[in-house]
Amino acid sequence: MSERWRLVLATLLLAAVVHLGVVLAVPYVVMGRILDVAIAEAGGVNQAVAAPIQDAGERTVIRPSPDILYTACAYDVSRQPLRVTAPLPDSYASLALFAGNTNVTYVVNDREVGDEIDITLVAPGAEATAPEGATVIETATDRGLVLIRFLIEDESRLAELDAVRREATCEPQGRPEP
Amino acid sequence: MEGYPLRRWLAVVFSAVVLGVGSAALAIFSAYRLSNVENGIWRTIPVTSSPDADIWTRALIAIVGVLALDRSETVYFSATTDGDRQPLSSRCDYRIEGGRFATRWWSLTAYGGDGFLIPNSAERYSFSASTVDSGPDGRWTVTLSAEPQEGNWLPTGDAEGIDLLLRFYNPEPELADALGTVELPTVTNLGCR
């Protein structure tokens, strides 16, 4: 093979590697940015934060809904389980878990659970570390996002809804593994 | 390796990076056209977290729909053109007409071309099943315009490019299983400045 062809081939192969690397990295980079924001706003991992109502001034996550109150916590279950609780209003509410690559790995809404959501997140394979009686949800990745949505169905009851959603908590369980 | 000058290998690496990143961007945006479902002016990407979404679709969804719920919970439709396939603009006024939907709740939200809510004096960004003024048959009209309007007015401010997003929470199977054919709102251009 001539030298020219060898260089062309090397370029193409390297380009393919770069292409794959970029495409595979995108979801992790996007999620990483969001987790950084959630951690900064909450003051740490495994802590719930009530996001401000979304309006034209909010430019953190693309296409937020102005009709939803969001509560989030960046989870890290690598060292201990995380219990997530949220009392529910009488309007639509849902909880979703997002893995480190943005995939939705679990969703539950108010019609499926009743008065409150109470789940305990564990890392893959770490089911046994959860407290007895807990509703255990295995995450897909050690780090990710819990996002709870509370729909503003009645604007006149916004303050009431806001008070309910601020009662959502994320609490690490047990003692952290070293 | 005998004597390949460094310059040549730097050229290889540089070309590879440009080619690799450029082709990645192209492939990701092509995934959009290949995987979306069209319904008139509206399009939706069946958001899926299942392993059989290819890596380009997953990269795309991470960019344009991060934190979107998957189809079991919410269905999203987006429109950036009017009924005549002209790009939506804050220089024009539009009449959006719709009715009831087979879903627990729905909303229609206007975003600017940058993907964020549009600053406006009324601080209104959306209409929903709870807030839209509709007739006894459930039919409603929303006027999309930069200028204040009577009735349901959805402001477009100074937005460069407008993206309308329809959200359906807990859609019935007759909606969720018929994304390409379910009746969705129409958008009619009323005139431009």
How many Å apart are CA A48 and CA B2, to the nearest integer?
59
List of chain A residues whose C-beta atoms are within 8 Å of the C-beta of residue B51: none
Report the pLDDT averaged over residues B37-42.
Answer: 93
DSSP letters of A46-98?
Answer: T--EEPPPP-TT--SSSS--TTEEEEEEEEE-SSS-EEEEEE--SS-EEEEEE
Calculate mean pLDDT across residues A126-137. 82
A82 pLDDT exceeds 80?
yes
Q: What is the rounded CA–CA span in Å between residue A91 and residue B157? A: 31
Tokens of A174: 């047990």
Question: Is the separation of the CB atoms in A51 and A71 below 8 Å?
Answer: yes
Q: Do residue B107 and residue A24 have CB atoms under 8 angstroms apart?
A: no
Beta strands in chain B (DSSP E): 37-39, 42-44, 74-79, 92-98, 103-112, 126-128, 140-145, 152-155, 162-171, 186-192
Hunting for tokens 């540089």 — which residue is that? B14
Query: How far, in Å, CA of B163 to CA of B24, rounded?
Result: 25
Look-up of token digits 């959630």: A38
Residues of A with Cβ-Cβ distance to B58 under 8 angstroms: 27, 101-103
Q: Cα-flanking dihedrals φ and ψ of residue B100, to 5°?
A: -85, 155
pLDDT at B92 over 80: yes
Residue B27 pLDDT level (bands cut at 50, 70, 90): very high
- Mean pLDDT value across residues A14-30: 96
Name the pLDDT band for B81 (thresholds 50, 70, 90).
very high
Q: Do A18 and B19 touch (CB under 8 A)?
A: yes
Yes or no, beta carbons of B170 and A92 under 8 Å apart? yes
Q: What is the DSSP string of B37-51?
A: EEETTEEE-----ST
The answer to whether B39 and B32 have CB atoms below 8 angstroms apart is no
Residue with tokens 């310059």: B7
Contact at CB, B109 and A30, closer than 8 angstroms: no
Query: Above 60 in pLDDT, residue B1?
Result: no
* Nearest chain B residue (CA) to A95: B69
Please check the confidence at residue B36 and state whether its pLDDT lies above 80: no
Structure tokens at A93: 């509410």
Predicted pLDDT at A98: 94
Q: What does the pLDDT look like over B93-132, one tens digit per residue?
A: 999 999 999 999 999 999 999 999 999 999 999 999 999 9
Q: Do B21 and A18 touch (CB under 8 A)?
A: yes
3-state secondary structure of B141: strand
State the nearest Cα–Cα gap between B165 and chain A, in angstroms.
Answer: 9
B69 neighbourhood in chain A, CB within 8 Å: 94, 96, 104, 107
- Determine whether the interchain pair A23/B123 forms a contact, defined as Cβ–Cβ distance below 8 Å: no
User: Could you tell me the two tokens for B79?
Assistant: 């429109």
ipTM of this complex prediction, to 2 decimal places: 0.86
Identify the DSSP state of B88.
Answer: P
Reading the block at residue B99, the tokens are 């009715």
